């Protein structure tokens, strides 16, 4: 999966001489890069902390904090350590160049700038960064896939094998109530395995580009009703109120299968993380050209530091449900893929002990993402 083809790269230029910033900026803007500026080291560090830059062009000789110190600081923090840094320097002596590489720079350009040289070096390192990001994502995807195969997919089948063996060899000594309990456990394990397999197959089709996107006018009411019907038993087992306030003829322009998968995963998660006698509510409202759908619960909530991990393939984050229901985190990653494919966005809001809200948007009309 390569998301860098249409990306607008963000570049930070750091120099205490406005003329140098202006010159470098004018050269790079010809390639439609998104350019930011800083005239000292402290401002540069603030900007890098608040933005996800793809490249930093960094002057060495600056008053106060010089370029070496800025580079060293950036390389010490996890958020900024992988940003490639090209030193801008009037010094062509080998000592300064070697020192720059020792601090973590990937290249250098001497002043005054040669336009072709500057553009070529910037282009090279942006392409390398994009390739590295794609490789990290591919490795994370592979690791996630094998983790699910090795552990998560095995769990429901272990339960199925174990329970069926008990029923087969010891059924005569069980009363009707015990048999019903074991059959319920079989059903729950089957559902868990089926849902995981369904998500896994959908995810693999997305990764290999085999999942087609077929948007059409659809009624959100219909797909919400289907999700509630499918999850009604799970909600009743926990004595949950599963409520939809979606009105008929709430029309979207989206792929019906993808919307179904998003609704099913989000409602299933809400049921999983809501304790007995709790409530899961589905609402929507029109916001501009989109319909904004909210699945809210009064469950256990999510820690603030974990919210950003929910939709990331490169971070494993999975928490057992209130009845020890197991998950892989794959469902939310799929939701993000499908929502964005349909031109929307998805996010979460939560408070520990009070519940969570998962919110996504979908276009209401034929506006291609």
Q: pLDDT at position 314, please?
A: 61
Which percentage of the chain shows pLDDT scores above 90?
A: 36
For the sheet with 10-14, list strands across it: 34-38, 10-14, 55-59, 85-89, 107-110
pLDDT bin (cut points 50, 70, 90) of residue 227 is confident
Mean of the pLDDT values across residues 112-119? 88
Residue 111 makes CB contacts below 8 A (sequence gap 6+) with 20, 88, 89, 90
Q: pLDDT at position 92, please?
A: 63
Per-residue pLDDT at 216 exceeds 70: yes
Mean of the pLDDT values across residues 140-155? 64
Characterize 30-52 residue by residue with b for buried, 16 or more Cβ atoms within 10 angstroms of its Cβ, and e for exposed: eeebebbbbbbbebbbebbeeee
Angle at 321 between CA 207 and CA 260, to 5 degrees: 45
Residue 211 makes CB contacts below 8 A (sequence gap 6+) with 202, 205
- The domains found in the chain, sorted by start residue, are 10-137 (3.40.50.2300), 153-207 (no CATH), 212-369 (3.30.565.10)
Measured from the Cβ of residue 365, the count of other Cβ atoms closer than 10 Å reads 10
Which percentage of the chain shows pLDDT scores above 70?
A: 85
* CA dihedral sign, ordered 161, 163, 166, 171: negative
Q: pLDDT at position 1, please?
A: 42
Per-residue pLDDT at 335 exceeds 80: yes
Looking at the chain, list the stretches that DSSP marks H as alpha helix, in order from N- to C-terminal side: 18-28, 41-50, 67-75, 94-102, 115-147, 154-170, 176-207, 220-237, 256-272, 304-307, 330-341
What predicted TM-score, i.e. pTM, was given to this entire model?
0.54
Of the candidate ranges 109-118, 165-174, 176-185, 199-208, the one whose mean pLDDT is the lowest: 199-208
Per-residue pLDDT at 120 exceeds 50: yes
Task: Answer for the pair 132, 314: CB distance below 8 angstroms, yes or no.
Answer: no
Could you give the CA distance from residue 280 to residue 300 in angstroms, rounded to a whole number?
A: 12
| Cα end-to-end distance, the chain, whole Å | 17
Q: pLDDT at position 2, please?
A: 43
Measured from the Cβ of residue 341, the count of other Cβ atoms closer than 10 Å reads 16
Residue 221's Cβ-side half-sphere holds a number of Cα atoms within 13 Å equal to: 8
Q: Is 33 helix (H, G, I), strand (E, B) or coil?
A: coil
Q: Measure the CA dihedral 16/18/23/25, to 10°.
A: 80
Mean pLDDT, the chain, rounded, equals 84
């Amino acid at each position: 999966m390569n998301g860098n083809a249409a990306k607008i790269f963000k570049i930070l230029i750091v120099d205490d001489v406005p003329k140098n910033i202006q010159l470098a900026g004018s050269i790079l803007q010809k390639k439609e890069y998104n350019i930011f500026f800083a005239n000292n080291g402290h401002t540069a560090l603030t900007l890098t902390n608040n933005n996800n830059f793809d490249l930093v062009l960094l002057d060495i000789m600056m008053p106060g904090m010089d370029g070496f110190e800025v580079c060293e600081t950036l390389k010490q923090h996890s958020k900024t350590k992988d940003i490639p840094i090209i030193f801008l320097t009037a010094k062509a002596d080998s000592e300064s160049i070697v020192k720059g590489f020792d601090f973590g720079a990937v290249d250098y350009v001497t002043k005054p700038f040669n336009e072709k040289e500057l553009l070529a070096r910037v282009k090279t390192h942006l392409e390398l960064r994009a390739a590295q990001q794609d490789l990290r994502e591919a490795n994370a995807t592979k690791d996630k896939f094998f983790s699910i195969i090795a552990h998560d997919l095995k769990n429901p089948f272990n339960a199925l094998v174990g329970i069926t063996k008990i029923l087969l060899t010891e059924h005569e000594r069980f009363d009707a109530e015990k048999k019903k309990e074991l059959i319920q456990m079989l059903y729950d394990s089957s559902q868990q395995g089926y849902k995981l397999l369904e998500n896994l197959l959908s995810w693999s089709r997305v990764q290999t580009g085999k999942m087609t996107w077929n948007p059409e006018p659809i009624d959100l009411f219909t797909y919400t009703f289907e999700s509630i019907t499918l999850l009604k038993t799970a909600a009743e087992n926990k004595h949950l109120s599963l409520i939809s306030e979606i009105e008929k003829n709430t029309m979207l322009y989206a792929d019906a299968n993808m919307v179904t998968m998003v609704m099913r995963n989000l409602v299933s998660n809400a049921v999983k993380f809501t304790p007995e006698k709790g409530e899961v509510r589905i609402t929507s409202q029109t916001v501009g050209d989109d319909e904004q759908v909210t699945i809210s619960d009064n469950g256990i909530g999510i820690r603030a530091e974990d919210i950003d991990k929910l939709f990331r393939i490169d971070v494993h984050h999975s928490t057992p449900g209130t009845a020890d229901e197991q998950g892989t985190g794959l469902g939310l990653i799929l939701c993000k893929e499908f929502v964005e494919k349909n031109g929307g966005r998805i996010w979460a809001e939560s408070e520990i002990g009070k519940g969570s809200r998962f919110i996504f948007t979908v276009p209401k009309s034929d506006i291609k993402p």
